[in-house]
Amino acid sequence: MLTRGRSVFTPVFLSRLAPVLSRYVDLKRALGRRFDIPTRTLQSLDRFLQEHSAQYPDLNAAAFEGWCHTYEHVSSGVRRVRMLEVAGFCLYRRRTEPQCFAPDPSSFPAYHQRVKPYIFSEAEAAKLLRAASGLPRYPTSPLRPEVIRLAIALLFTTGIRRGELLALTLGDYNQRESTLHIRETKFYKSRLLPINDSIAEEMDQCLRARARRELPVSPDTALIWNAAWSGGAYSGTALRHAIQPLLQKCGIVTAKGKLPRIHDFRHSFAVNALLRWYRAGADVEAKLPLLATYLGHGSAVSAHYYLHFIEPLRTAASERFANRYGELVSPLLNAARRRG
């Protein structure tokens, strides 16, 4: 059973391992992790051990295998993640119980191949914004053009996560400072995002459209507002269903002919930022910590996940290298040709 506190789930463990499971979850949360999904996995293990306590008095190889069988209905990738979560707990337990069981991850299902993100260009983003401006209005969504256009603009120009976008309220926008307050998202971190003048104007246009229609303007009103959801924010699914027709209309598809994901805007923001820095001659290495902070990461290493070496970036990097070191490389190449 899970009981909900103010912002995170409070787990209840009932098996013989309950004390150590509770300490493990408390430690992870004290380190800044929400740990809700791994906690649910550990609770399923706890329930399994409690229900089969006569057969498995402790967590051993047989008990672990029996628990894994309860997840045969899910994909191998999900099963692997859950097995790794239990393996992490077992390694924690070994700190005080050296002889306790710990599974061998080499026997777990293989990783799924990482989905290759679609990198939106600035021209494609502009095309999507124009298409969003032409969206029809509905009684249940009177601000649909403005809100969907704003959502696309923020996703592309700030790289915020979908959940962060949908959690924004009107009070999170500081019109005087042109900033957005992203509150307690991943790892409980909050951050202030400065936005440029064009995005601030998008925000202000949406606010003016809201005022003209005498719609809610209180600070706690959702920024990506939808009247169909009792005046709350779009859900993640509803936002995806609103953006997908625009992608189809603009002919924006992946190499496999599929529609890009909303999360691909975050990848696109990082790659386009890197591309702008290369073209401007900026110190890219010095800029990476700033990019990581803007994305809400703890270090530049985490931001590397979003940096993909696409063709325009490859060209920009090669041109910079040639401009700076071409004179050093050319004599070596010429000498090599003469020897050949």
Could you tell me the two tokens for 280?
Answer: 């401007």
What is the H or E stretch that residue 10 is in? strand 9-11
Query: How far apart (Å, rounded) are the C-alpha atoms in residues 229 and 239?
Result: 12
Query: How far apart (Å, rounded) are the C-alpha atoms in residues 326 and 59?
Result: 62
Task: State the pLDDT at residue 87.
Answer: 97
Could you tell me the two tokens for 63?
Answer: 């008990």
Task: Scan for tokens 């696309």, then name that residue.
Answer: 152
Could you tell me the two tokens for 288?
Answer: 């990476």
Task: State the pLDDT at residue 140.
Answer: 82
Answer whether 94's CB lies under 8 Å from 100's CB.
Answer: yes
- Sign of the alpha-carbon torsion through 123, 177, 189, 148: negative
Query: How far apart (Å, rounded) are the C-alpha atoms in residues 133 and 136?
Result: 9
Burial group, residue 107, by CB count within 10 angstroms (0-12, 13-18, 19+): exposed
Buried b (16+ CB within 10 A) or exposed e, 50-67: eeeeeebeebeeebbeeb
Query: How far apart (Å, rounded) are the C-alpha atoms in residues 84 and 166?
Result: 30
What is the H or E stretch that residue 311 is in? helix 311-339
Query: How far apart (Å, rounded) are the C-alpha atoms in residues 154 and 289?
Result: 21
Could you tell me the two tokens for 315?
Answer: 């060209």
Domain ranges within the chain, ordered by starting residue? 2-107, 122-260, 266-339
What is the H or E stretch that residue 78 is in? helix 76-93
Q: Both ends of the chain: CA-CA distance in Å?
A: 74
- Report the 10 Å Cβ neighbour count for 194: 13
179, 172, 203, 214 alpha-carbon torsion, rounded to 10°:
-150
Q: CA-based Rg of the chain, rounded to a whole angstrom?
A: 25
pLDDT tens by residue, the chain, 340 residues: 333 334 567 889 999 999 999 999 999 999 888 899 999 999 999 999 999 999 999 999 999 999 999 999 888 889 999 999 999 999 999 999 999 999 999 999 987 767 789 999 999 999 999 999 999 998 888 999 999 999 999 999 999 999 999 999 999 999 999 999 998 666 567 889 999 999 999 999 999 999 999 998 899 999 999 887 677 899 999 999 999 999 999 999 999 999 999 999 999 999 998 888 888 888 888 888 888 888 888 777 777 778 777 777 667 667 766 666 566 655 545 555 666 5
> 191-194 and 232-233 as β-strands: parallel, antiparallel, unpaired?
unpaired
Question: E strands, the chain, where?
Answer: 2-4, 9-11, 173-174, 179-182, 191-194, 225-226, 232-233
pLDDT tens track for 22-52: 999 999 999 888 899 999 999 999 999 999 9
- What lies within 8 Å, CB to CB, of 41 at 6+ separation is 82, 85, 86
Check whether domain 122-260 has CATH 1.10.3080.10, yes or no = no
For residue 304, the SS3 value is helix
Could you tell me the two tokens for 255?
Answer: 């190499």
> 191-194 and 179-182 as β-strands: parallel, antiparallel, unpaired?
antiparallel
Task: Scan for tokens 């191949």, then name that residue.
Answer: 113
DSSP character for 95?
T
Measured CA to CA in angstroms, residue 207 lies from 5, 21, 143 at distances of 33, 48, 10
- Which amino acid does the sequence have at 20? V
What is the H or E stretch that residue 226 is in? strand 225-226
Answer whether 13's CB lies under 8 Å from 21's CB.
Answer: yes
Q: What's the chain's average pLDDT?
A: 87
